Chains A and B, each alone.
Chain A
Amino acid sequence: MAAVLTPDPPVPERRFRRHSGLVRLTHWINALCFTVLLMSGLQIFNAHPALNVGQSSDFDHPVLSILARSSERGLVGETTILGHAFDTTGVLGASRAGGQIASRAFPSWITIPSVQDLATGRRWHFFFAWLLVSNGLVYLAWGFASRHFGRDLLPRRAELELRHLGREVVDHLRLRFPRGEAARRYNVLQQLAYLLAVFGLFPLMIFTGLTMSPGVDSAAPQLLALFGGRQTARLIHFAAASGLVLFVIVHLAAVLASGVLNNLRSMVTGWYDLGEARTTDVR
Chain B
Amino acid sequence: MSGDRPHRRGLLQALAALGGLAVSGCDRLSNAPRFRSALDAANGLTYRAQRLLIGPHQLAPEYSEADISPVFRANGSTDPQDDDYLALVGNQFADWRLKVHGLVERELSLSLTELRALPARTQITRHDCVEGWSCIGKWTGAPLSEILSRSGVKPEARFVVFHCADTLDDGGGFGEDPESIRYYESIDLVDAMHPQTILAYDMNGAPLTVPHGAPLRLRVERQLGYKMAKYVMRIELVESFAHLHGGRGGYWEDRGYEWYAGI
A contact residues vs B (CB 8 Å cutoff) = 36, 39, 44-45, 47-48, 50, 52, 55-57, 59, 109, 112-115, 117-120, 122-124, 126-127, 129-130, 212-219, 221, 224, 230-231, 234, 256, 258-262, 275
Least CB distance from B114 to A in Å reads 30
Cβ contact of B26, chosen from A55, A112, A122, A259, cutoff 8 A: A112
Collect the chain B residues with CB atoms within 8 Å of residue A122's CB: 130, 257-258
Collect the chain B residues with CB atoms within 8 Å of residue A130's CB: 42, 45-46
Cβ contact of A119, chosen from B26, B46, B73, B252, cutoff 8 A: B252
A–B Cβ pairs within 8 angstroms, 10 of them: A39-B26, A48-B133, A55-B136, A56-B69, A117-B30, A119-B257, A126-B42, A126-B43, A126-B263, A214-B128
**Can you add 11 more A-B contacts, CB < 8 Å, to A39-B26, A214-B224?**
A52-B133, A56-B133, A59-B73, A115-B27, A120-B30, A212-B128, A214-B263, A215-B262, A217-B60, A234-B132, A261-B1
Q: Bound complex: CA of A127 vs CA of B46, how far in Å?
A: 9
Q: Bound complex: CA of A114 vs CA of B22, how far in Å?
A: 11
Residue of chain B at shortest CB distance from A127: B42
Cβ contact of A127, chosen from B8, B39, B136, B222, cutoff 8 A: B39
- A59 with B131: CB separation less than 8 A: no
Residue of chain A at shortest CB distance from B36: A123
Collect the chain B residues with CB atoms within 8 Å of residue A262's CB: 1
Cβ contact of B222, chosen from A119, A212, A218, cutoff 8 A: A218
- B1 with A47: CB separation less than 8 A: no
Is B58 engaged at the interface, CB distance under 8 Å to the other chain?
yes
- A57 with B133: CB separation less than 8 A: yes
Collect the chain B residues with CB atoms within 8 Å of residue A52's CB: 133
Q: Bound complex: CA of A123 vs CA of B26, how far in Å?
A: 12
Interface size on B, residues (CB 8 A): 53
- A224 with B30: CB separation less than 8 A: no
Least CB distance from A135 to B in Å reads 14
Collect the chain A residues with CB atoms within 8 Å of residue B69's CB: 56-57
Residue of chain B at shortest CB distance from A129: B42
- B4 with A215: CB separation less than 8 A: no
Cβ contact of A55, chosen from B36, B38, B63, B71, cutoff 8 A: B63
Chain B, range 1-47, C-beta contacts under 8 Å to A:
1, 4, 7-8, 11, 23-24, 26-27, 30, 36, 38-43, 45-46
Q: Bound complex: CA of A212 vs CA of B130, how far in Å?
A: 10
Q: Bound complex: CA of A266 vs CA of B166, how far in Å?
A: 60
Least CB distance from A249 to B in Å reads 14
Cβ contact of B135, chosen from A57, A213, A224, A258, cutoff 8 A: A57
Chain B, range 196-233, C-beta contacts under 8 Å to A:
221-224
Given contacts A57-B135, A126-B43, A219-B55, contact A119 B256 (CB under 8 A): yes
- A124 with B30: CB separation less than 8 A: yes
Collect the chain A residues with CB atoms within 8 Å of residue B59's CB: 218
Collect the chain B residues with CB atoms within 8 Å of residue A258's CB: 1
Q: Bound complex: CA of A214 vs CA of B194, how far in Å?
A: 14
Collect the chain A residues with CB atoms within 8 Å of residue B92's CB: none
Least CB distance from B78 to A in Å reads 15
Most interface-central of B60, B128, B258 (chain A CB within 10 A): B128
Is B54 engaged at the interface, CB distance under 8 Å to the other chain?
yes
Q: Bound complex: CA of A275 vs CA of B55, how far in Å?
A: 58
- A219 with B54: CB separation less than 8 A: yes
- A230 with B134: CB separation less than 8 A: yes
- B223 with A214: CB separation less than 8 A: yes
Q: Bound complex: CA of A231 vs CA of B67, how far in Å?
A: 13
Cβ contact of A48, chosen from B43, B131, B255, cutoff 8 A: B131
Given contacts A57-B133, A59-B133, A259-B1, contact A215 B222 (CB under 8 A): yes
